[in-house]
Chain A
Amino acid sequence: MAEAKILKAPGMAKCIGCYSCMLACARVIHNDYSPRRSAIQIRSTGGLQSSFLAVICRGCLKPACAEACPAEALVERPGGGVIFKKDLCTGCRKCVAACSVEAIFFDEDEKKPIVCIQCGTCTRYCPHQVITMEVRND
């Protein structure tokens, strides 16, 4: 499984801020219409005059979020990132604080984190190939 791919955002300069990726993650993975329930978040870094940033799981090989999780709900995923075992999650938010790129969001209604499962759905809805799935090469 060393070939497992992870989400990357190599083309942010080409991003038009259409939010199609967020809407796709929310729609397909989180069964929600709202981009608030998406594991990828596109942010402007200084209004619309500046370029966008993709807040995404960077697919760590030694994930701090998993290490921080006391309930073993997050476990290392081969190739990078984590596998989320929702049933085990107690909603303690330790993973949210542990991720230094702030890529884990917290769903206040469900009391569970919104974690990227590295499925690549969002990349298929990006009209400009800004985000891709690639094998971790470092």
Chain B
Amino acid sequence: MINANGIRVLEIDLNKQKIKAHNRKDLLAYLGGVGVATKLLDEYIMPEKDALDGDQPIVFAIGPMETIFPVVTKVVAMFRSPLTGELGESYAGLRLGLAMRFTGYDAIVVKGKATKPTYLVITADGVEFKNAEPLWGLTVEETGRILRRRETGSGLRSCIRIGRAGEKLISFAGVNVDTYRHFGRLGLGAVFGSKNLKAMVVKGEEGLAITDKKEYQRVYKEIYQRVVETEVMDKYHGLGTAVNVLPLNAMNGLPTKNLQAGSFAGAEEISGEAFAKHSLVRKLACSGCPIGCIHIAQVRRQFGDHYEYYTTPISYDHELVFALGSFLGIDNRDQLLELIEKTELYGLDSISTGVLLGWLTEAFEKQLVREEMIGCRPAFGNASVYREIIDRLVAMDSDFYRDLARGTWYAAAKYGGCDFAMCLGGHEMAGYHTGHAFIFGQAVGARHSHLDNAGYSIDQKLQGWDPEQVVDKIINEEIERNILNSLVICLFARNVYDRRTVVSALRAIGLDWNEESLGELGKKVFRLKRDLKEKLGYRLENICFPQRYFETKSFTGFVEEEKIKQLMDIYKSRYYTV
């Protein structure tokens, strides 16, 4: 039976090259995923030590429904973020969830620092510590190819790895998962780098017998049919998330040129529609998801005379189109894809990279930073100069670039321009200028992500100004998402997995939860994250909002500082009573 002996935790010590497996009955009360991971992070984290101290832990977790119900495909990673200094929480899909599930481990804790570059091979039988010396310095893509060849297996495996950005401890380096997905945000790649950890190959090749076949089949089938036959998920298999570009643009909601505007003259060219028509070559799915939202475009490049070409497949999404497209004034699809390719190969978070480049361009225009420091002249719309800057950023060969490598907020605090450094809670913004709820939601969310509480969606649904309601919705949505994230259900399926459905799915695999106990869990995780963040130095009153948010008209009109203050006051009174 699933979780019969509790939550199975694999603890890996990179320094001693030792492992321990624990069966934790006490963790069953946290269900799985982000619930279990937050609890484990709290146990292993060292609040007095820096995020990039090799002793800090990385926690990966899945939930009891992983892979065995449709669209329950993600893995959560938790760590201390080198970008914000506080809670690091990031999600990725593709094969990792399946691979973890069928190793039999519900959570993996990686601690300590390896004495030399290392990669891990994790199976049900244990962990191998392997030499990654020859892989150090290689791109994400080449590393993946080498590991696939070397670590043969059945296809029920996953390969996650960092590129040079992670090795060089760039605060917004991500971890690539199976080529097309990422633990993108908040700097997990740098945490890997700080541990000399280049990659992890996870092979999930164990069986797992079904206990109540009839009930499980029934619930599975019902959910599967809802996923494929109803319209709730249409948007994700059609144009994908890039479907948002044009509607946002039409209503001033698409951050453009460092949010100097909310709409972009070149939006048509980089819209989901245009990508689908001209560049889309295939779609892929995470294991156990019949939707297949991963959109792959092809970029074709000439590298020499006499018709010498090569092509690269690149996955694209709304956030990338915004961060490396409209936000930088890039209106050419191929140039945009080339920028995505560059951040991919180095293993950088594309959102943070784009927002940093946006700030840099404006700081240069305003003469806060000079050409001699940058080494070139950044300008909106100039993709080749942005590619050059990314190369210099990763080479990190001057103090200036070492400062940029610490993220937008750090750089702006040092060189000026905080008013147009488009961060919220120290974290680069996501691709929505929808109004008060987005800005406020990302600022106060547990990890300062737009996905903490989906403020951008609250903005689009709200009628009139009702601050109490906004705060309620923001807190309640975060609680609700803590439940989904404890099962690590892909949030695109959030409308399929209402609490009632979750309860019946859990019961079909022998786990007894009800709608209330799930609600309690969501709140418990909210409190646990809040208390953990405070241990790491987070204070709600330190949150500030760059002026630019109030200067550029949004999807719902101008955002007013006064109204944000109102939200903050209400939030402060509720934050501690959840």
Chain B neighbourhood of A42, CB < 8 A: 155
Interface membership of B216, Cβ < 8 A: yes
Is B217 an interface residue, CB under 8 A from the partner?
A: yes
Chain A residue, CB-CB nearest to B70: A20
A20 / chain B contacts, CB cutoff of 8 Å = 70, 224, 288, 290
Interface string of B175-217 (1 = CB under 8 A from A): 0001110000000000000000000000011111110010011
Q: Which of B156, B180, B207 contacts A109 (CB 8 A)?
A: B207
Interface check B27, CB cutoff 8 A:
no
Shortest CB-to-CB span from A40 to chain B, Å, is 12
Interface string of A96-138 (1 = CB under 8 A from B): 0000000000010100000000000000010100000000000
Within B271-292, the residues touching A (CB, 8 Å) are: 282-292
Question: Are B145 and A16 in contact, CB atoms less than 8 angstroms apart?
Answer: no
Which residues of A have CB within 8 Å of B213?
Answer: 31
List B residues 150-179 near A (Cβ within 8 Å). 154-156, 178-179
Query: Does B285 lie within 8 Å of A34, measured CB to CB?
Result: no
Say whether B557 faces chain A, with CB atoms less than 8 Å apart. no
Contacts of B291 in A (CB 8 A): 18, 127
Closest B residue to A48 by CB, please name it: B179
The docked-state distance in angstroms from the alpha carbon of A127 to that of B210 is 24
Nearest to B228 among chain A residues (CB) is: A127
Tell me which residues across on chain A come within 8 A of B282, comparing CB atoms.
16
Inter-chain contact A33/B68, CB cutoff 8 Å: yes
Provide the B60-78 mask, 1 if CB < 8 A to any CB of A, else 0: 0000000110100000000
CB-CB under 8 A for A127 and B292, given A27-B220, A48-B180:
yes
The total number of A-B Cβ pairs within 8 Å is: 89
Which B residues are CB-close (under 8 A) to A48?
A: 94, 178-180, 284
Given A17-B285, A18-B289, A27-B216, A49-B207 contact (CB < 8 Å): no
Asked whether A37 is an interface residue with its Cβ less than 8 Å from the other chain, the reply is yes
- A23 partner residues in chain B, CB cutoff 8 A: 67-68, 288
**Min CB distance, B488 to chain A, in Å?**
16
- Looking at the complex, which one of A28, A33, A41, A127 makes contact with B155 (CB distance below 8 Å)? A41
B-contact bits for A13-57, CB 8 A (1 contact / 0 none): 000111110010001100111111100011110011100000000
The 8 Å CB contact of B206, one of A27, A36, A41, A127, is A36
**Chain B min CB distance to A59 (Å):** 22
- Output the nearest chain B residue to A105 by Cβ-Cβ distance: B154
- Contact check, A18 vs B217: say whether CB atoms are below 8 A apart: no
Interface size on A, residues (CB 8 A): 26
The residue on A at minimum CB distance from B283 is: A16
Question: Shortest Cβ distance from B390 into chain A, in angstroms?
Answer: 22
Is residue B39 within 8 Å, beta carbon to beta carbon, of the partner chain?
no
Question: Within the assembled complex, what's the spacing in Å between the Cα atoms of A107 and B285?
Answer: 27
Secondary structure call for the B interface: loop
Task: Tell me, yes or no, whether B316 is within 8 Å of chain A by CB.
Answer: no
Is the CB–CB distance between B179 and A34 below 8 Å? no
For B94, give the chain A residue with the smallest CB separation: A48
Number of residues from B at the complex interface, CB < 8 A? 41
- B292 and A44 within 8 A (CB): no
* A37 contacts B285, C-beta separation under 8 Å: no
In the complex the two chains form, what is the Cα distance from A127 to B225 in whole Å?
10
Inter-subunit contact B178/A34 (CB<8 Å) = no
B502 within 8 A of A: no
CB distance from A131 to the nearest CB of B (A): 13
Name the residue on A nearest B292 (C-beta): A16
Closest-CB distance, B67 to chain A (whole angstroms) = 7
Q: Which residues from A are CB-within-8-Å of B154? A: 36, 41, 43
A49 touches B313 (CB 8 A): yes
Query: Is B209 touching A31 in the complex (CB atoms < 8 A)?
Result: yes
Q: In the complex where A18-B289, A35-B98, A41-B154 touch, is A47 in contact with B210 (Cβ < 8 A)?
A: no
Q: B148 at the A/B interface (Cβ < 8 Å)?
A: yes
Q: Is the CB of B292 within 8 A of A107?
A: no
Within 281-314 of B, Cβ neighbours of A (below 8 Å) are at 282-292, 313
* A20 → chain B closest CB, angstroms: 5
Closest to A14 in B: B282
Contact between chains at B290 and A36 (CB < 8 Å): no
Roughly how many angstroms separate A23 CA and B224 CA in the complex, as a whole number? 12
In this complex, which of A42, A44, A127 has the most chain B Cβ atoms within 10 angstroms of its Cβ?
Answer: A127
Residues of A within 8 A of B148 (CB): 47
- Considering only CB atoms, which chain B residue lies closest to A109 in the complex? B207
- Judge whether B425 is part of the interface by a CB distance below 8 angstroms: no
Kindly report which residue of chain A lies nearest to residue B286, judged by CB atoms: A18
Chain A nearest CB, measured from B540 CB (Å): 42
Q: Is the Cβ of A34 less than 8 Å from the Cβ of B216?
A: no
| Bound CA–CA A126/B313 (angstroms) | 24
Inter-subunit contact B210/A27 (CB<8 Å)? yes
Cα distance A119–B268 in the bound complex, in angstroms:
48
Is the pair A19, B313 in contact by a Cβ cutoff of 8 Å?
no
Contacting pair B155 A47 (CB below 8 A) = no
Residue in B180, B220, B228, B288 whose beta carbon sits within 8 Å of that of A19 in the complex: B288
| In the bound complex, CA of A36 to CA of B206 (Å) | 7
Please state if A49 and B179 are interface contacts (CB–CB under 8 Å).
Answer: yes
Q: Quick one: closest A residue to B180, CB to CB?
A: A48
Within 8 Å CB of B178, what residues of A?
Answer: 48
Bound-state Cα–Cα, A27 to B68, Å: 9
Which residue of A18, A28, A41, A125 contacts B287 across the interface (Cβ within 8 Å)? Answer: A18
B311–chain A nearest beta-carbon distance, Å: 10
Would you mind naming 28 contact pairs between A and B with Cβ atoms under 8 Å apart? A16-B285, A18-B286, A18-B287, A18-B289, A18-B290, A19-B98, A19-B285, A19-B287, A20-B288, A23-B68, A23-B288, A27-B68, A27-B220, A32-B207, A32-B210, A33-B209, A34-B207, A35-B102, A36-B156, A36-B207, A41-B154, A43-B155, A47-B144, A47-B145, A47-B148, A47-B179, A107-B207, A109-B207
Which of B's residues lie within 8 Å of A, judged by CB? 67-68, 70, 94, 98, 101-102, 144-145, 148, 154-156, 178-180, 204-210, 213, 216-217, 220, 224, 228, 282-292, 313
Known: A16-B292, A17-B284, A36-B154. 15 other contacts (CB 8 A): A16-B282, A18-B290, A27-B210, A27-B216, A32-B207, A32-B210, A33-B67, A34-B206, A36-B205, A37-B207, A41-B154, A47-B144, A47-B145, A48-B180, A49-B313
Q: Which residues of A contact B (CB under 8 A)?
A: 16-20, 23, 27-28, 31-37, 41-44, 47-49, 107, 109, 125, 127
8 smallest CB-CB distances across A and B, nearest first, come from: A18-B285, A16-B292, A127-B290, A33-B208, A16-B285, A33-B68, A19-B287, A43-B155
